[in-house]
Amino acid sequence: MSWSDLVSSAHRTLQKMPNVDYGELRVHLTEEEFIWMRDGVLETFSSSESKGTAIRILTTGMGFASTADPSKIDRAVELALKNSRASDKNVCLSQECFEKASYSSRVLKDPFSTSFREKMEVLRQVDSSAADEDISSRNIFLKLSREKVLILNTDGAETSGEVTRVKLEVFLTHVSGSSSTQEMESRGGSGGLELIDEWNLPELVRSLSKNMKERLEKGVSAPRGKMDVVIGPYVSGLVAHESVGHPYEADRILGREAAQAGESFVTPDMLGSNMGTGLISVVDDPTIEGSYGFYLYDFEGVKTRRRVLMKNGVINEFLHNRETASEFSTVSNGSARASAYNREPIVRMANTFIAPGDMDPGEIIEGVSEGIYMKRFMEWNIDDRRYNQRYVGSEAYLIRGGRIDSMILRPVLEITTPRFYSSVDAVGRDLEFQAATCGKGDPMQGVPVWTGGPTLRLRGVGLGGI
Amino acid sequence: MAGYEEALGFVEDVISEALCLGADEVAVLLSEGPGSQVRFSNNRVDVVKTWIDVSLRIQVIWNRRIQTIFMSTKDLRSIRKQLGRTMKALRSLPEREVYSPLPEGPMDYPIIPDLYDSSLEDPSEKLVDLAHVAIDAALAEGARRAAGSVRSKAFTECLATTSGVKVCERRSNVHLDVRAIRNSEATGHSFSCSRRLSGLNPSKAGEEAGLDAKISEKHIKLGPGRYNALLWYSAVGNIVGVMGSLASALSVLSKMSPYGGKLNERLAPEFFTLVDDPLKPGGYGSRSFDEEGFPTRRNFIVDRGILRTYLHNRLTAKAMETETTSNAGWINPTPWNPILLPGDESEEDLLSEIGKGLIVRNATYLRFQDYVSGDFSAIVRDGLLFVENEEVVGAVRGLRLSDNILRMMSSVIGLGRNTRQIYHWWMEYGVPVEAPLIAVKDVGFTSAMI
């Protein structure tokens, strides 16, 4: 069935929806293309199409059903209704003003109509820049997607969106004798292949490759103990995502994800309390044109907006869908997303970043007499309350007398979230973004996001390891 | 193939379409059947879900060029359109240097008992009851809140290829996760999984989670360092799943595994045997055929401590000049039903063996610093219990498991005599595991509290 036939079918289904507190239909199509080049040779070329309808019905509780088969939509409605009666949480949804709207990402060079040879050439150029430096193993991935979503509900929403995305990922390994080191880079955005030129990955990969070789030759053991630590945008972006974005998701705060990714150290009454120095603000903004996490209406049909999660060190706002907004007696800020037609919309981030300051990164390093500069990391994780996090540096340096000194191997920054944000005394103006796929939910839902941040300086934090 | 005529007829129609458009070889894998889920938190059911799902995968080959298609439909018009695009794209692809054709069929397949339970075709109301049993059991043991999910699937999978493979199998799964919460830092987790609805034990899972939450309330201080550790089943599932999945030959080829160059080397003590056994009756990951149509077989990944094989599909086998191990994965080979064979020790023996040490109840979020070296860390949650003289003294907070996967394998000092089938929400590679409790010497733990 074509997209327009599915849309017509959804409208008809909404018209004959049984008398319920709330009914919602989402027609959701995702087309993808994936190319993997390994050591200069095509490893995998795959394409996918996921297309179907999701139904949510609220009676005594929330019921969900989905189908990829258009002839079974009525059956899915029956199942969602039955399921809603089996749920025993009395779900309420926030009151929202809905509108009829549509939007799409701006695409100059459609990746799906560009020749395969041209796309392979993109990969080849990136691969060559690492191969020229004799990097032992090179994996380059190009992922293209086009997502079309229509939301209809009994509260009056009728929104549709079409977002095309491009993501280029690089995973490099260099082995020298018994030592090895790895690096990963991921750039992505909404738009077409024109984005690839902006990223200039061949140059970045060449520089990364040189650095990997050099660190295996010249890197010295990382120091431990209390010292000043400067982190680059590559690191601070993930810190923002993991330790502000996730714990400010209202469904985690309320315990709905407790058995999966976990809850949050943040409690509802912490709104308005201090979490960091006044230099730090963290924003989640789905409306950034060209971003990897771009959308304008969320997957409940709510118009989304920029959310300032932390404002000058103060907890300012949580991420909400309609269910959590109702529990917090507020309105949704358009954070509901679903990764495919067969997934329920849950609270998600989009493009989360630490807002840039006004300092030059060089100036930030000059202010450190003895410390380290962690420019990039490989290993990271954070506990289920998003309180205790760890980043192990890949490209990293000693700082002595305000200057970058020798390369160091695998410095370990293991730190609590409050300690991190209260230690920041300098924020750079060099905001950068990485593309990522954020995982959450049960069944797992991976959604495209940007993680972003500038160079930050942390005073007197502990470097550890074992 | 009685009872599968409709599904097989459909996959053969897809093959005909692809051949008609000029493909040389085609494999079609159809998976179809209903799924249900009950999610709960704060002692209540948040949502009940049903999926009427179709997964269609097509491998299209033309002149040693391969494209894989994933679709969620059986609509032949959409499939024809997608195949048309694929045939056009295939003509632009470079020829594969390393190539092996689809295997010649027909083949004989093992019949594996207890893989399907028809009561999982429409179980949602029963799943709600099971969720409540788990919640009540956790609360009865001292939890203040319980959260989790029960998820089931009953499906038919059919594979047919242009080289004469034609095989179908019905399988079902149901698993339950329950997390018990006494307070924000005192939690417990357990699980139950089975091919059959009657095999699920929500009461036991709830009790185990509830008890852990209660025990975890008594907090004791312990600094970072190396401690002997006993890994409990939730943690074992994740860590052994990683050990098995790292044997994928494609992971080795792409330097995403520490096993590269270590075939026939000793990785673990004599009593450590990790076998992929998809033939086990009722095994949560058991199946009779791989995605290329080879009959599955037992493969000893680590045999009495020695790394014996990587896991292959036909293409990785060709690249490494060996035979497939029937672990295809069209793109990445995968273990189906890895089993760490049990030892002969009771839980008390193992506790005695670790002496003054830690019980790791659950380990999640395992991330590698470097796959080649095997350095990693993982989040420890739902009970990190300090034991002394075989008694739990209290729960430790804020430590992280930070070690090396090869070092941990080589430092296993004991295996329990009872195995459990393990599948829960956080399985890094999504591979179910059967394994006993594992005692490991000198496991590294780090902390943010320095």
Rounded to the nearest angstrom, the minimum Cα separation between A53 and chain B is 10
Interchain proximity B52–A67, CB inside 8 Å:
yes
Q: What is the percent of chain B with per-residue pLDDT over 70, rounded to a whole number?
A: 100
Say whether both A235 and A185 belong to one domain: no
CATH number at residue A11: 3.30.2290.10
Of residues B450 and A352, which shows the higher confidence score? A352
Say whether both A457 and A388 belong to one domain: yes
In this complex, the residue of B68, B78, B184 whose CB is nearest that of residue A46 is B68
Say whether both B203 and B223 belong to one domain: no
| B369 contacts on A by Cβ (under 8 Å) | 182, 378-379, 392, 410
Q: Tens digit of pLDDT for each residue in B45-92?
A: 999 999 998 999 999 999 999 999 999 999 999 999 999 999 999 999
Say whether both A190 and A269 belong to one domain: no
Out of A218, A250, A281, a domain closes at: A218
Interchain proximity B94–A390, CB inside 8 Å:
no
Interchain proximity A389–B226, CB inside 8 Å:
no
pLDDT at B450 over 70: no
Quote the pLDDT of residue B3.
82
Say whether both B271 and B380 belong to one domain: yes
Quote the pLDDT of residue B210.
98
Q: Tens digit of pLDDT for each residue in A446-461?
A: 999 999 999 999 999 9
Interchain proximity A38–B47, CB inside 8 Å:
no
Say whether both A188 and A159 belong to one domain: yes
Number of domains composing chain B: 2
Say whether both A164 and A264 belong to one domain: no
Quote the pLDDT of residue A18.
87
Interchain proximity B52–A383, CB inside 8 Å:
no
Q: Which of A45, A170, A257 to mutate to test the interface with B (most CBs of B within 10 A)?
A: A45
Out of B181, B212, B243, a domain closes at: B212
Q: Tens digit of pLDDT for each residue in B378-397?
A: 999 999 999 999 999 999 99
Which residues of chain A are modeled with pLDDT < 50?
none
CB proximity under 8 Å: B 87-116 to A? 89, 92-94, 96-97
Say whether both A163 and A260 belong to one domain: no
pTM: 0.97
d(CA A454, CA A235): 9
Interchain proximity A46–B93, CB inside 8 Å:
no
In this complex, the residue of A43, A52, A75 whose CB is nearest that of residue B72 is A52
Contact B69, B60 (CB under 8 A): yes
A443 upstream amide cis, omega within 30 of 0: yes
Say whether both A232 and A173 belong to one domain: no
Is the CB of residue A439 less than 8 Å away from at least one CB of chain B? no
Out of B189, B212, B235, a domain closes at: B212
A253, closest residue in chain B (CA to CA): B184
Out of A180, A196, A218, a domain closes at: A218
Q: What is the percent of chain B with per-residue pLDDT over 90, rounded to a whole number?
A: 98
Say whether both A157 and A204 belong to one domain: yes
Say whether both B90 and B140 belong to one domain: yes
Interchain proximity A414–B450, CB inside 8 Å:
yes
Number of domains composing chain A: 2
Say whether both B75 and B202 belong to one domain: yes
Q: Tens digit of pLDDT for each residue in A300-331?
A: 999 999 999 999 999 999 999 999 999 999 99
Residue A400 domain boundaries: 221-464
Say whether both A181 and A230 belong to one domain: no
Say whether both B308 and B176 belong to one domain: no
Say whether both A149 and A50 belong to one domain: yes
Q: Tens digit of pLDDT for each residue in B123-145?
A: 978 999 999 999 999 999 999 99
Q: Tens digit of pLDDT for each residue in B319-368?
A: 999 999 999 999 999 999 999 999 999 999 999 999 999 999 999 999 99
Quote the pLDDT of residue A465.
78
Say whether both A227 and A211 belong to one domain: no
Interchain proximity A381–B50, CB inside 8 Å:
no
Interchain proximity B372–A466, CB inside 8 Å:
no
A172, closest residue in chain B (CA to CA): B255
Say whether both B377 and B410 belong to one domain: yes
Say whether both A305 and A201 belong to one domain: no
Out of A168, A198, A218, a domain closes at: A218
Say whether both B198 and B228 belong to one domain: no
Say whether both B205 and B240 belong to one domain: no
Rounded to the nearest angstrom, the minimum Cα separation between A274 and chain B is 20
CATH number at residue B83: 3.30.2290.10
Say whether both B290 and B149 belong to one domain: no
| A342 contacts on B by Cβ (under 8 Å) | 51, 53, 72
pLDDT at B449 over 70: no
- Helix (H), strand (E) at residue B449: none
DSSP assignments along B191-250, one per residue: EEEESSGGG--HHHHHHHHHHHHHHTTSB----SEEEEEEE-HHHHHHHHHHHHHTTBHH
B41, closest residue in chain A (CA to CA): A256
CB proximity under 8 Å: B 33-52 to A? 37-39, 41-42, 44-52
| A82 contacts on B by Cβ (under 8 Å) | 124
Rounded to the nearest angstrom, the minimum Cα separation between A197 and chain B is 23
pLDDT at B1 over 80: no
Is the CB of residue A451 less than 8 Å away from at least one CB of chain B? no
In this complex, the residue of B145, B254, B449 whose CB is nearest that of residue A255 is B145
Say whether both B178 and B302 belong to one domain: no
| B398 contacts on A by Cβ (under 8 Å) | 388
Rounded to the nearest angstrom, the minimum Cα separation between A257 and chain B is 8
pLDDT at B2 over 60: yes
Out of B149, B184, B212, a domain closes at: B212
Say whether both B157 and B15 belong to one domain: yes
Rounded to the nearest angstrom, the minimum Cα separation between B176 and chain A is 10
ipTM for the whole complex: 0.96
Quote the pLDDT of residue A9.
93
Q: Is the dihedral of CA B105, B107, B112, B118 positive or negative?
A: positive
Interchain proximity B255–A88, CB inside 8 Å:
no
Interchain proximity B52–A382, CB inside 8 Å:
no
Residue B271 domain boundaries: 218-447
Q: Tens digit of pLDDT for each residue in B298-312?
A: 999 999 999 999 999
Quote the pLDDT of residue A466.
74
Say whether both B86 and B106 belong to one domain: yes
